[in-house]
Amino acid sequence: MSAAWNPRASEEGETPPRPELSNWGRWGEDDEAGAANLLSPEVLLAALTLPRSGEVVQLSQVIGDPKAPRNGAPPQHFMLHDAGDYLAGAKAPSGFQTAVDHLSWATHGSVTHLDALGHVWYDDQMFNGYDHRAARSNGLRRLGIDKAPPFIGRGVLIDIAKTKGVTRLDPGYEVTAADIEEALQSAGEALQAGDCVLIRTGWITAWESDDVRYHGDRPGIGLDAAEYLARHDVALVGADNSGVEVIPWAPGTVCPVHQFLIRDCGIYLLEFLDLEELSRRDATAFLFIASPLRIRGGTGSPIAPVAVL
């Protein structure tokens, strides 16, 4: 989710009720890891048996690539030390020369990233009942991305676009629980506790052909699908769009899926994925590996997840 968004909610209809489901207190009153607790040693060891070919598929976008979708300003990349310094007379002790750079980006707008559990909240309370005043000007005192462990477990690709026989879903298409069940049945898979679920809408392909359209209405999951995934005890939900959830939002709501999955359930959201190669390989279940940067109090982290087939 990015502050650069300018999405809209539908103007007609009634506001849907928020699902009556919460993981508050489930892993203790002081817990800050949320659904990542489901990634037990047993889940990890079972996932290690999944690879067959040993092939690794990158699931992140290349930071700074102009072909990579984004919301807001692109990442800024500056060289602090390069060949020009030596050409201008900088010394090279014992012939040693080096290049050093600096990167700057909006975590939630321009890179493949994982949302921290302190990223969103409502009614002045964050996940597990933490007071929203834990979000301070120098970072999150609670639920920062540094509290998220590495995600090593079973990844499941839910390829909605392929199941529907399209390159990408239509703008504003809401992926439902029925859609997820249809895709799982087509792939011969069933969800398990601790799964890292990746939903392919194909929307990444809209960026290169029409970046203006990309930032308009977009396909994604709604509360119906979010509740389905939460009740199946998934640890993480990722997607190949900019915010996982469908735009426009349901009437009278703002980021309802973020609010429900992150704040109520402690389930992590992974955004701006590239799932095209995974889809081309007809992948279904695989070893999923992703580790966020341990940024103290960070609201999210750039991340480079991989699937091992």
What are the tens digits of pLDDT across the range 240-268? 998 999 999 988 899 999 999 999 999 99
- Return the pLDDT at 14: 64
Residues 6 or more apart in contact with residue 263 via CB below 8 angstroms = 117, 120, 121, 122, 125, 126, 127
Q: What is the pLDDT of residue 72?
A: 75
Give CA separation, 64 vs 70, 216, 273, 283, 284, in Å. Answer: 10, 22, 15, 27, 29
Please give the backbone phi and psi of residue 29, each rounded to the nearest 5 degrees, phi first.
-70, -20
Q: Are 293 and 111 in contact (CB under 8 A)?
A: no
Q: What is the pLDDT of residues 32-87, one digit of tens each?
A: 999 999 999 999 999 999 999 999 999 999 988 888 887 777 889 999 999 999 99
d(CA 152, CA 141): 26
Tokens of 259: 């609010």
Which pLDDT score is estimated for 2? Answer: 45
Q: Per mean pLDDT, which range of 102-111, 144-153, 187-196, 235-244 is the poorest?
A: 102-111
pLDDT of residue 38: 98
Please tell me whether the overall predicted TM-score, pTM, comes out greater than 0.85 for this model.
yes
Looking at every residue in the chain, the average pLDDT score rounds to 93
What was the pLDDT predicted at 16? 73
Q: How far is residue 141's CA from residue 105's CA, in Å, rounded to a whole number?
A: 22
Q: Which domains does the chain have, with CATH numbers?
A: 34-71+108-308 (3.50.30.50), 75-106 (no CATH)
Name the nearest CA neighbour of 233 among 261, 214, 252: 261
Q: Is the pLDDT of residue 17 over 90?
A: no
Q: Give start and end residues of each alpha helix (H) in 61-192.
A: 83-87, 160-164, 177-187
CA-wise closest residue to 245 among 30, 232, 231, 267: 267
Question: Token digits for 232?
Answer: 């199946």
DSSP state of 171: T
What pLDDT was estimated at residue 5? 45
Radius of gyration of the chain (CA): 20
The residue among 70, 13, 10 whose CA lies nearest residue 246 is 10
Q: What is the pLDDT of residue 8?
A: 53
pLDDT at 210: 75
pLDDT band at 12 (very low <50, low <70, confident <90, very high): low
